[in-house]
Amino acid sequence: MSDRLGTYLLKDRRTGKEVEATLWQSIDDRHVEDFAQKWKPIFETRKTELLKRGALTAEIAGEHNLQDSHWEWMRKVEQRRDGLAWASFAVEAEDVTQGLMFVRMDAFAREPSQRNKPIVDIDLVATAPWNRFRLVAEPQFKGIGRLLLAAAISLSVHEEFNGRIGLHALPQAESWYRDVCGMTDLGIDGTGMRYFEMTEAQAKAFVS
């Protein structure tokens, strides 16, 4: 059962208008359904294109478990729904899931000033395909990533972690987390991705 955390306004880049969005804590069946029925077909179409052009081989797809028709999300939702260490969030607008986030609460900080203190670790932040710069020419909604990051910080404060959060950013999102969100860049780690952390002071600045 999802809890409604609040109503916010996203900007629709296509119309220039504000659109009401609801932030939910805990991903529900309908969000999973949206992923399966509305997000996944767009990813699948892209995957088919890549296969057709020879850019993605069945072997590579297999290596990354992309042959799984339900992708990773479905499995993760099922596995994590009841896990005490996990929390999930969804953003809905126009009756469709626009963004999803999974976080874990059993992680510890690496940044020297807060090393080994508990943090909320963002395992996954994803926006719907039609909100992505690299998938569509004119992505629709703006504000989803910021809202979900604010939710992670709020959870961190609620858990008495003082706003401390961590995440691994995609290359094209690195400047967002470092330069706009003010997170500390701790370099590329064993995941091959750049790891960022937000301290208590940085979290306060972000939500102010």
Partner 1 sequence: MEMLVSQDWLRRKVETDPDTDSDAGPFIMVLESIGMFLPPDVTPAETQAPRVVEAFGVLVRQFRRQKQWTVEELARRARVDAEDLRQIERVPQVRPRPRIVHQLADVMGLPERALLKLSGAAVTRDQHFEEESMLFAAKSDDMSKLSRDEQLALNEFVKFLTDQAK
CB 108 within 8 A of CB 116: yes
CB of 167 to partner 1, least distance (A): 4
Distance, CA of 18 to CA of 8 (rounded, Å): 9
CB 202 within 8 A of CB 149: no
CB of 112 to partner 1, least distance (A): 19
CB of 175 to partner 1, least distance (A): 7
Distance, CA of 122 to CA of 162 (rounded, Å): 15
Run of H or E residues at 21: strand 18-25
Of 33-41, 78-86, 109-117, 121-129, which part binds partner 1 (CB under 8 A)? 121-129
Q: Which of 19, 96, 105, 150 is in the footprint of partner 1 by CB under 8 A?
A: 150
150: three-class secondary structure by DSSP = helix
Q: Which of 29, 41, 60, 62 is in the footprint of partner 1 by CB under 8 A?
A: 60
- Residue 168 binding partner 1, by CB under 8 A: yes
Q: Which amino acid is at 181?
A: C
CB of 56 to partner 1, least distance (A): 5
Of 27-35, 77-85, 110-118, 174-182, which part binds partner 1 (CB under 8 A)? 174-182
For CA atoms 97, 7, 143, 18, the dihedral sign is positive
Of 29-37, 78-86, 109-117, 167-175, which part binds partner 1 (CB under 8 A)? 167-175
- Residue 36 binding partner 1, by CB under 8 A: no
Distance, CA of 87 to CA of 104 (rounded, Å): 6
Residues linked to residue 88 through DSSP beta bridges, in sequence order: 102
Pick between residue 47 and residue 81 the one whose CB is nearest to partner 1.
Answer: 47
Of 27-35, 78-86, 110-118, 139-147, which part binds partner 1 (CB under 8 A)? 139-147
